[in-house]
A and B are shown apart, each in its own frame.
Chain A
Amino acid sequence: MIRYLLIRVVILLLTLLVVSVIVFGLTRLQGDPRALFLSEYDTLVDKSLWNEWGRKYGLDKPVTVQYLIWLGKVTRGDFGDSFRQQRPVLDVVAEKIPNTLQLGLAAFAFSMVVSVPLGVLSAVRKGTVWDYAGRSLALLGQGLPPFWLGLVLILVFAVKLGWLPTSQKGGPDHFILPVITLGTLSLAGNLRLVRSSMLEILDSEFVKLARAKGVSRVTVVWKHAFRNALIAPLTHAGLLLVGLLTGSVVTETVFAWPGIGRLAVTSVTQNDYPVVSGVILIFTVLYVAAALVMDLLYAIIDPRIRLRGDS
């Protein structure tokens, strides 16, 4: 298990490193930042200001050194200042994080509450109406573009029927449409996983033995099968997180939700690269931390991983 976790930690650190190199590399692909702010006279003829800025911001050093300095700042939470808002990126992003987390957790809860029972039901009552309902929902949910689903929900429930607000944050009713929009994709994926792993477990020898012994159906399904069937969906919770992460960018854009996803999109249109890179780095750290927790949980839940010691 130690070896397994070590490998995972190394991969996740590598991921962070790769993301940081890409983000830094993209800033330098835009050219020397001095060229954006200084006039052609300063850039080409009288180089005194150019060189002064170079010393001041460390731009006269080799790119690798610049990268390491930048990395040092970033690990201490200094992502630079937003071009647009003229204040530290960390402050700009930090004030949006709670909104994204609220929406994400609500969507996670929604997709779990629907997908787990329906997945189990679909597997246990295979071939019945429940099964068809579950499978259709899974198939359709995976093909629905979240941005379009959001717009159709707004069109029907906010514009035509007028039951729910169209956008922005507010009371509990403001959560309903964004949560459905964000949760549907992960709901569908999870539903499929719960169903297929439940079917697999129900077909296994120990479940047959339990049935043969005369254990009641309810006990077999919930005690023997269900607990084991949860392992596969749990391992994919990392993927589910990625889904919610990418989904939040779209959902927040559609519903004008004041979260980090929308911040990233508006910063793109405003060419506010420090904010975009800050959001990417913070998202990646969040994702990596969550993935690590999932790996740990997985190792704790499944003794086969704990004992085998290798992925």
Chain B
Amino acid sequence: MEITIDRNPTVRPRDSYQTRAWRFVRRWPVVPAFLLAVLLITGLLAPVIAPKDPNESNLRARNASPIWYPDGSATHLLGADHLGRDVVSRVIYGARFSLLFASLVISISTVIGVPYGMVSGYFGGWLDEGMMRVVDVIFALPLILLGLALVVVFGQRLDVLIGLLAMFSWPGTARQVRAGTLSLKTKDYVLAARISGASTSRILFRHILPGVVSTVLVLTTLSVGGLILTEAILSFLGAGVPPSIPAWGLMVADGRNYLTTAWWASFFPGLAIVLTVTGFNFLGDWLRDFFDPRLRQRA
């Protein structure tokens, strides 16, 4: 029997540069990664990058125009607000504050939500029932309105704001972690660990916890956007961070009364919120698909 060997196999022509670039962009979260990298760098290096002190007011530069206006100058690239504070510097410091704020709230809600969800899901029964009802009740509370009530009593305080948002964000983590724990606890390897006499805490932390890490990661990324948005809404309403902190929501509120004369003071901080929140949401969606390819078809 003779075997013919094709000495000239048809080689698929290498895709053009554009096709490969497009495929790369569709496969990896290039745009959100870029946005968030910019956010992270500006946030971390704010004191180095920002041209001015964010709270330094200069009455001669009140409502100064951005650089592309005929009367604009390079001293205020994106203009200045009604107190003559530099918009670019404030937006940059706002990134620093948003990151710090979000990471604090998320640390608290992870520390509470992960053990809570694991215990609720692992033990089940009445304990689970009761613990999940607590979560349901918190979900039904009107967050923004309670924020308004709190500010009447305590004034604008950062610790109260962080506590409020942490209280509203851990139930989400707990619910997801519980769902993950429920599906993991009947897995063979967990049963095997139980049969071989592993203690409950060992099973929870060595066998279940690693399985829910990806869920927590996805949820965390998705919730950063919502957190920043909620903080900005509360700050805009005057029920958020104290006025001395350069926060984006506050800047939009401050510039609001000068919309006709200095739209940039409100517009750019708001744009920063849009880009940040959209970036985190996009990345969160991508991470979810990455960890759970079955969903990729739909999401």
Q: Report A's interface with B, CB cutoff 8 A.
A: 7, 10-12, 14-15, 18-19, 22-23, 26, 29-30, 139-140, 142-148, 151-152, 154-155, 159, 196, 199-200, 203, 242, 245-246, 249-250, 253-254, 264-265, 268-269, 271, 273, 276-277, 279-280, 283-284, 287-288, 291
- Which residues of B have CB within 8 Å of A140? 274, 278
Knowing A14-B133, A151-B252 are in contact, say whether A277-B149 is a contact too (CB < 8 A).
yes
CB <8 Å contact, A246 and B270: no
Bound form: Cα–Cα A139–B286 in Å: 12
> Which residues of A are found within 8 Å of B232, using beta-carbon distances?
145, 147
Main secondary structure of the interface of A (DSSP, over half): helix
Q: A250 to B236, Cβ gap below 8 A?
A: yes
Is A147 a contact of B146 with CB atoms below 8 Å?
no
Contact B233 A269 (CB under 8 A): no
Chain B residues with Cβ below 8 Å from A145 are 229, 232-233, 236, 249, 252, 270, 273-274, 277
Closest 4 CB pairs of A and B: A148-B270, A143-B278, A143-B277, A15-B140
23 A-B pairs within 8 Å (CB atoms) are namely A11-B136, A11-B140, A15-B137, A22-B146, A139-B278, A142-B225, A142-B277, A142-B281, A143-B273, A145-B252, A145-B273, A147-B252, A151-B252, A151-B266, A245-B142, A245-B144, A249-B237, A250-B233, A250-B237, A265-B238, A273-B149, A277-B149, A280-B148
Say how far A294's CB is from chain B's closest CB, in angstroms. 12
| A29→B154 CA distance, assembly (Å) | 9
- Structural contact, A276 and B229, CB atoms closer than 8 A: no
**Quick one: which of B229, B256, B274, B276 contacts A151, CB cutoff 8 A?**
B256
Q: Which residues from 276 to 290 on chain B have a C-beta closer than 8 Å to any C-beta of chain A?
A: 276-279, 281-282, 285
Category for how many chain B residues contact A: 35 or more
Q: Which of A10, A143, A200, A265 has the most CB of B within 10 A?
A: A143
Q: Which residues of B contact A268 (CB under 8 A)?
A: 148, 151-152, 237-239
Find chain B residues with CB under 8 A from A23 CB: 149
- Asked if B153 and A287 make an inter-chain contact with CB atoms under 8 angstroms apart, the answer reads no
For B279, the chain A residues whose CB sits under 8 A away are 143
What's the minimum C-beta distance from B110 to chain A, rounded to whole angstroms? 22
How far is the CB of B286 from the nearest CB of chain A, in Å? Answer: 11
Instruction: Say yes or no: B152 contacts A159, CB within 8 Å.
Output: no
Residues from chain B with a CB closer than 8 A to the CB of A155 are 259, 263, 267
Most buried by B among A151, A264, A265: A151
In the assembled complex, B143 has its CB within 8 A of some CB on chain A: yes
A10 to B146, CA, bound (A): 22
The reply to whether B144 and A249 contact each other, CB–CB distance below 8 Å, is yes
Whole-angstrom distance between the Cβ of A266 and the nearest chain B Cβ: 10
Q: A287 touching B140 by the CB < 8 A rule?
A: yes
How far in angstroms is the closest Cβ of chain A from B253? 8
Distance between A268 CB and nearest chain B CB, rounded to angstroms: 5
CB of B283, distance to nearest CB on chain A (Å): 11
Looking at the assembled complex, report how far the CB atom of B73 sits from the nearest CB atom of chain A, in whole angstroms: 23
What string of 1s and 0s marks CB contacts (under 8 Å) between B229-255 and chain A? 100110011110000000001001100
Q: Are A273 and B148 in contact (CB under 8 A)?
A: no
Known: A159-B259, A245-B144, A284-B141. 9 other contacts (CB 8 A): A26-B152, A143-B275, A143-B277, A145-B270, A148-B274, A155-B267, A245-B142, A269-B238, A276-B149
